[in-house]
Amino acid sequence: MFSSGSYADRIRRHIQSQRWALVVGVIVLVAGVATGVAAGAPALFGVLGGLVVLVAFALLAWRNRRGYGPGASTLAASLAVFAVAALVTLAVIQLVPYGRDHSNPPVTGEPAWASPRTRELMVNACYGCHSNEVEWPWYSSVAPISWVVTSHVDEGRDEVNYSEFATDRGEAEETVEVIREGSMPPGYYTLFDLHPEARLSDAEIEELVSGLRQTPGMFEEDDD
């Protein structure tokens, strides 16, 4: 049986041998949350970061039991273990069915747009999440991005679906307000130059707002 001193020494040596793994693990967790904030899903990416860390340390424990040594005593070794853990995690989450149904229900009735230009600007800025004419990019089939994209489209359609305006206006009367305040389209939608057509200039925003004010049901009467 080990004395308390020898046991403490073993724990200390183990922690020292895994110090780079601990450092990389913290970096992975922080990077996961930061990525989630940028993508509008901090909890999801934080959980995925934690899952990668768990898989990495499970691999390290397996190496120790198999007698291959600590396996992460250097930065390069730690990075290698976490790279394998990330690949394993990425492969496993592809089995989750959520995010693969990229359906576009029929268009049942749009607003009576003030002009074709008003509709064009709305399509560019809002139809990526608030319509039944969503263009699903290739990365919308790869988890976890597919989960985020599907979630955003589902939430967007629940708030207002301009393709079903004739039967359910949802929160369409707030369209002018959210466009003027800059919350729509959201920042993550155009991050890294994604969807450049949705990045409207100040002149285009004013043009769109003017058209929406002439489109019934698209703004509140007391909207300045």
SS3 189: helix
Rounded-to-integer distance, Cα 101 and Cα 99, Å: 6
pTM over 0.85: no
Bond prior to 116 in cis (omega within 30° of 0): no
Q: What are the domain boundaries of the chain? A: 4-93, 116-213
Q: How many CA atoms lie within 13 A of 120 on its CB side?
A: 5
- 117-167 pLDDT, tens digit per residue, is 999 999 999 999 999 999 998 888 999 999 999 999 999 999 999 999 999
Rounded-to-integer distance, Cα 96 and Cα 92, Å: 8
Q: Does the structure show a pLDDT above 50 at 1? A: no
- 163-210 pLDDT, tens digit per residue, is 999 999 999 999 999 998 888 888 888 877 888 999 999 999 999 999
Tokens of 59: 């691999």
- 61-85 pLDDT, tens digit per residue, is 777 665 555 555 677 888 888 999 9
Rounded-to-integer distance, Cα 121 and Cα 38, Å: 24
Tokens 């990045």 belong to residue:
199
